[in-house]
Amino acid sequence: MKRMTVPRFKRLKGKRKLVMVTVYDYTFAKLIEACQCIDAVLVGDSLGNVIQGLDTTLPVEVQHIAYHTKAVSRALGTPLIVADMPFMSYYNKDTAAKTAEVLMKSGAHAVKLEGGVEKADIVKFLTQQGIPVMGHIGMTPQSVNMLGGYKIQGKRPELAEYLIESAKALQEAGAFSIVIETTKKEVAKAITEAISIPTIGIGAGKHTDGQVLVLYDMLGMDPDINFTFLKKYANLADTITNALQTYSKEVREEIFPDDEHSF
Ligand code: KIV
């Protein structure tokens, strides 16, 4: 696979589906690089959930995203690396500039921020500084308290209209792509048809230009994570548990280490 760039990512809309996963550490990033099958990775603020064990992404700090972006960028040569701007790290142009500077200097090729029409001026400002921005609309987890929970978006016609207007405003502001999360598939389709930049869906049906999933969720690392939209492509929870049990048994029974694993 050729190294993914922002212009190439945009050009692929309508040609083939774009594939994205989140990633947070060097070892998983190495596997992603080796598979040569992923177009873009997101160092998502979902690290607050899967790495830090938090209920929401609100406590995630810029330094956390920067730390993980540095780690994954050491392993990646092919996919586009997008780093998430955490909660309250882009509420005005100054904070947005500082956050984006830290993340781009940590190895990101682009940043992602949540919000629609109301964030268009921030997106425009960042893109004017040469920083590619991915938008994120629909169910935006940083606004969980405003939304009243992690609810499906786009059910009411006026909200569907707001999402379409938001996508157009983000595109106009210079966003190169937009994530649509937990949104009715008809609305995600309408958004995808209304703009010329790629839409990347998560829980938004099949009509978006690409898909993103949280790596640990799609690998089945946590048996308690079972969203309707989530397909588990592996059951690593069982694989890892079995490996730990076998290791423990072998140490206790003095089977490991044997001569083969000794000097
Ligand atoms: O933080 C994250 O992982 C995300 C994806 C769910 C799109 O924003």
Q: Do 217 and 156 share a structural domain?
A: yes
Asked if 4 and 80 count as a contact pair (C-beta separation under 8 A), the reply is: yes
The pLDDT tens digits for 116-174 are 999 999 999 999 999 999 999 999 999 999 999 999 988 999 999 999 999 999 999 99
Asked if 209 and 225 count as a contact pair (C-beta separation under 8 A), the reply is: no
* Banded model confidence at residue 64, pLDDT cuts 50, 70, 90: very high
- Rounded to the nearest whole angstrom, what is the distance from the C-alpha of residue 61 to the centroid of ligand 1? 15
Q: Do 143 and 66 share a structural domain?
A: yes
Looking at residue 134, its amino acid is M
Domain of 128, in residue numbers:
6-232
State how far Cα 212 lies from the chain centre. Answer: 6
DSSP codes of every residue in 162-198 = HHHHHHHHHHHHT-SEEEEESB-HHHHHHHHHH-SSP
Can you list the positions of beta strands (E) in 44-131?
80-84, 110-112
Global pTM reads 0.97
The answer as to whether 113 is a domain residue is yes
- Rounded to the nearest whole angstrom, what is the distance from the C-alpha of residue 161 to the centroid of ligand 1? 23
Q: Do 240 and 163 share a structural domain?
A: no
Asked if 90 and 113 count as a contact pair (C-beta separation under 8 A), the reply is: yes
Q: What is the arithmetic mean of pLDDT over 29-37?
A: 98
CATH number at residue 148: 3.20.20.60
Asked if 40 and 9 count as a contact pair (C-beta separation under 8 A), the reply is: yes
The answer as to whether 42 is a domain residue is yes
Q: Do 148 and 255 share a structural domain?
A: no
Give phi and psi for 153, each to the nearest 5.
Answer: -100, 160
* Number of independent structural domains in the chain: 2
Per-residue model confidence (pLDDT) at position 154: 86
Q: Do 245 and 223 share a structural domain?
A: no
Asked whether residue 224 carries a pLDDT value surpassing 90, the answer given is yes
Instruction: Provide, rounded to the nearest whole percent, the portion of the chain with pLDDT above 90.
Output: 98
Q: Is the CB of 33 under 6 A from ligand 1?
A: no
Q: Do 124 and 246 share a structural domain?
A: no
Distance of alpha carbon 6 from alpha carbon 181, whole angstroms: 21
Q: Is the CB of 60 under 6 A from ligand 1?
A: no
Q: Which residue among 18, 84, 85 has the greatest number of ligand 1 atoms within 8 angstroms of its CB, and so is best to mutate?
A: 84
The answer as to whether 262 is a domain residue is yes
Q: Is the CB of 142 under 6 A from ligand 1?
A: no
Q: Do 21 and 103 share a structural domain?
A: yes
Looking at the CA of residue 57, tell me the nearest atom of ligand 1: 1
Catalytic annotation, residues = 181
Residues 6 or more apart in contact with residue 110 via CB below 8 angstroms: 6, 80, 81, 82, 83, 131, 132, 133, 134, 176
The answer as to whether 1 is a domain residue is no
Beta bridge partners of 137: 180
The pLDDT tens digits for 81-115 are 999 999 999 999 999 999 999 999 999 999 999 99
Taking all residues of the chain, what is their mean pLDDT, rounded to a whole number?
97
Q: Do 248 and 144 share a structural domain?
A: no
Q: Tokens representing 37?
A: 């099958």
Q: Do 193 and 141 share a structural domain?
A: yes
Q: Do 248 and 169 share a structural domain?
A: no
Q: Which residue among 58, 202, 213, 219 has the greatest number of ligand 1 atoms within 8 angstroms of its CB, and so is best to mutate?
A: 202
